Structure 1
Amino acid sequence: MRRSSRWAELRRALRDDAGSASLEFLTVGVLLFVPLVYLSLSLGQIQHAVLGIEGAARHAARVIAAADGHDEGLAAADRAIRVALADAGLEPAAAEVAISCAPAAGDCQTPRGTVSVQVDATVPLPLAPPVLALDVGMGVPVSALASQPVSAFGGAP
């Protein structure tokens, strides 16, 4: 009978759940906490880049509309875009910029015209390795479009 009592004690010990709830809580908590932290980091980085890209488009449209000449406006817009993207932590070479003027007279200083600037870029995700051994990591495409009217009295206010 001695042998059966040992097996009974062992079965009772294995069935006893005392203390396992805290271990389960810690395991599930860590498994849920890591993705939540990564999601927070990713959304923060994407929002930071979106604000930078929106600022780049807005400032570029403003400086083109307020410039004294077309070439001066484009040079000032290039500087504004580079500064805004650098502040957002993005490479200026990675952004695509499209500038359009209405009416399409080839010159963005047409009185009562409109200057539109669109900036497109891809925001890299934090800690994301390059995909398929390429040099490009995973990212989220973002874009911004800004329009600015040109003064009725010319480009300069």
Structure 2
Amino acid sequence: MRRARDERGSALVEFCWVGLVLFIPLTWIVISVFEVQRGAFAVNGAARAAARAFALAPDDATGRARAEAVATQTLADQGSDGMVADVRVSCGGLANCHTGTAVITVEIRSRVEMPLLPEVLAAERRSFALEASHTVPIGQYVEAGRGSGPADGG
């Protein structure tokens, strides 16, 4: 009986330590998943908005500038101020993306920083890569002056 009396109260201490050892990593995992999900929503929204901005622009140069500006603004609106957007626009090998029947694809690549990780880890391991794309078709009938059609001399 003496042995049972010596261990009295140690279950509470052990429960607290096990709780802390499990609770802290579990909390970090949940916070990290939420941060990555927030970044994924932001990158997806940025791709959609950038593709629409590019498609509505009068020419390719203006479209690229608008797509980059809209992608940056969309990431900031989603609360992802630290994320940098790498915007890539392709239109299936056409020289002018605003010609009739062109299909514009905008890819956004970015990274989200993992929370509460120490500085000693490499930069690649402290962040999570995210990528999203959105495709917008340009209609067959394009306004005169926007594409290289018969009205433009092309």
Question: Deviation per CA, 1:130-157, whole angstroms, max 9, x where unpaired?
Answer: 235x77771111111111111222278x
1:63 Cα shift?
1.5
1:131 match: secondary structure: coil
Maintained 8 Å contact 1:114/1:150: yes
1:65 aligns with 2:55: yes
1:99 pairs, out of 82, 89, 101, with: 89
Q: 1:30 to 1:91 in 2, by over 3 A?
A: closer
1:125 Cα shift?
0.6
1:150 aligns with 2:132: no
Unaligned runs of 5+ in 1: 1-10
Question: Deviation per CA, 1:109-148, whole angstroms, max 9, x where unpaired?
Answer: 011211011111121111222235x777711111111111
2:129 pairs, out of 141, 145, 148, with: 141
1:121 aligns with 2:110: yes
Q: Residue 138 of structure 1 aligns to which amino acid in structure 2?
A: R
Distance in 2, matches of 1:152 and 1:38, equals: 51
Q: 1:135 to 1:43 in 2, by over 3 A?
A: closer
The TM-score normalised by the length of structure 2 is 0.79
Distance in 2, matches of 1:136 and 1:130, equals: 11
Maintained 8 Å contact 1:65/1:150: yes
* Percent identical residues: 32
Question: Deviation per CA, 1:45-64, whole angstroms, max 9, x where unpaired?
Answer: 11111111111111111121
Distance in 2, matches of 1:111 and 1:62, equals: 16
Q: Residue 46 of structure 1 aligns to which amino acid in structure 2?
A: V
Q: 1:141 to 1:16 in 2, by over 3 A?
A: same
Maintained 8 Å contact 1:119/1:145: yes
Look up the match of 1:3.
none
* Structure in which a larger fraction of residues adopt helix: 1
2:91 match: secondary structure: strand
2:76 match: secondary structure: helix
Q: 1:105 to 1:135 in 2, by over 3 A?
A: closer
1:72 Cα shift?
2.3
Distance in 1, matches of 2:50 and 2:22, equals: 42
Maintained 8 Å contact 1:97/1:118: yes
Distance in 1, matches of 2:119 and 2:75, equals: 22
